[in-house]
Amino acid sequence: MATPDDKPKKREFVRLVLDFIFGFKNQRGDILDAWIYSADEFSLDPQEFYAGVEKHLANQKIPGMAISRVEFAEGGLLSDQRTYLRLMRERFAIDACAAPFGKHYFFSCRFVHVPALVRLWHIVATVIFFGVVGSLLVKPLGFTFAIIAVIGLLFALAGVFRNAAAFTDLDSLLLKIPVVATVYENWFRMETYYRVDTRTLYKSILPDLIKAAAEEICAAKGIKLVRQSASAPILAELYPPGAK
């Protein structure tokens, strides 16, 4: 007999299937940590703040970090778009926002994980790629040797992916290529102590730098920032207050 809990499980299964086939996913990623500060009777062009943060970042020389401006909807699909400053390194992004809210002005910062997810179209694209390569080799090599060549190419690419982490530029390049990035990160890219250590520094240093830039701009106008909230939606569950 079906139980009330079966329906949510079925809906979750259907959602996972649709995600796998069509790639439905919140592109903003999963928020791991966040903070927000506000200032009263204060006004500032967000682009001016973002430019100031970028100047501070130039002195940090963080390897493998990409800086961009991204837009997220304030509400539904037809709502206005709000521009954020995104600092992306590996699969971790720091999204900073500066915006007015009535008579108030706020600065927010989120540490976000954007996972590499294998979708059906990734598999289809990979199969098509090797199919096209194989078909191009059939005429000059013959069917048997074309198959051998494709298998050789597959092992060669696997070797490149397996050793790419030793080369920072190649590693960063592979992480930016659609489909390739997903395959590379899920199946070949190893987690290391160094990556964990540098990721920890990245998560610690960059938000503090953004906060310092906001305090500097406000202090220049005699305004003091007030902390409104700080949260770690996922980390809070893993490390509750009082946990050791």
Domain extent for 224 = 26-116+204-238
Tell me whether residue 82 is in a domain.
Answer: yes
The more confident residue out of 65 and 23 is: 65
| Position 210 pLDDT exceeds 70 | yes
Q: Which residues contact 137 (CB under 8 A, 6 or more apart)?
A: 145, 146, 149, 150
Residues constituting the chain: 244
Tell me whether residue 244 is in a domain.
Answer: no
- Same domain for 80 and 51: yes
Decide if 188 contacts 158 (C-beta within 8 A). Answer: yes
- Same domain for 218 and 230: yes
Tell me: the pLDDT tens digits for 157-191? 887 777 776 666 677 777 777 677 777 777 777 77
- Same domain for 176 and 211: no
Decide if 61 contacts 76 (C-beta within 8 A). Answer: no
- Same domain for 127 and 111: no
104-113 and 226-231: which strand pairing? unpaired
| Position 95 pLDDT exceeds 60 | yes
- Same domain for 164 and 137: yes
The more confident residue out of 230 and 148 is: 148
Decide if 82 contacts 72 (C-beta within 8 A). Answer: yes
The more confident residue out of 145 and 10 is: 145
